[in-house]
Amino acid sequence: MNTKIKWLIHDNYYCIVLSIFIILIIFVPVLYVCGKDWKVLLTLVGSLLSFFYFLQKQQLDEAKFLNELFIQFNQRYDRLNEEMNDILANDKISKEKELEDNEIDTLNDYFNLCAEEYLFYRRGYIYPEVWKSWVAGMNTFYDDNRIQKLWLKELSAQSYYSFNVSNEIKQLP
């Protein structure tokens, strides 16, 4: 499903349900007056109630999944955060110093995390507001010349689910 349509339905769920309910209130008596069989009416009402249940269940399942994703992504980021900040601090001290192997490993873990977050965002599981916030955080590291150089080199290998940090950062408001 197109993610824009998904978020439109998600954001306007109650309006959609209310609209369908109002249409049902109007439509059922009209069908009854026209002499339609009560089984048709019952099928229509049952179908609409099933649809409401499906939407509600879908939203609940996605909220649980999103919570699991947040926990997992935040735990992974927390493990990397101190080392990432150390890399930034080291760059301010010595801008000409090459990245060390352990720093490159940490950055590759971070790049993988960002790409996985992007994959779930693109699939419609991450709220657009959350994604913008995460990209703003990525920008902190992308602004560092040494990190940016490595990140662009890694992205050129196209191993990050079509994620392109420079394109995402350009789209920020």
Contacts of 6 (CB under 8 A, 6+ apart): 124
The pLDDT score that the predictor gives to residue 54 is: 86
CB atoms within 10 A of CB 6: 15
Rounded distance between C-alpha atoms, residue 135 and residue 69, angstroms: 16
How long, in residues, is the chain?
A: 173
Convert 97-131 to b/e letters by CB count within 10 Å (16 or more is b).
eebeeebeebbebbbbbbbbbbebbeebebeeeeb
Could you report the per-residue pLDDT of 89-137, keeping only the tens digit for each? Answer: 876 666 667 888 999 999 999 999 999 999 898 888 888 888 889 998 8
* Percentage above 90 pLDDT, the chain: 23
Whether 32 has a pLDDT exceeding 80, the answer reads: no
The pLDDT score that the predictor gives to residue 95 is: 63
Domain boundaries, the chain: 3-170
Whether 170 has a pLDDT exceeding 80, the answer reads: no
State phi, psi for 134 to the nearest 5 degrees: -65, -40
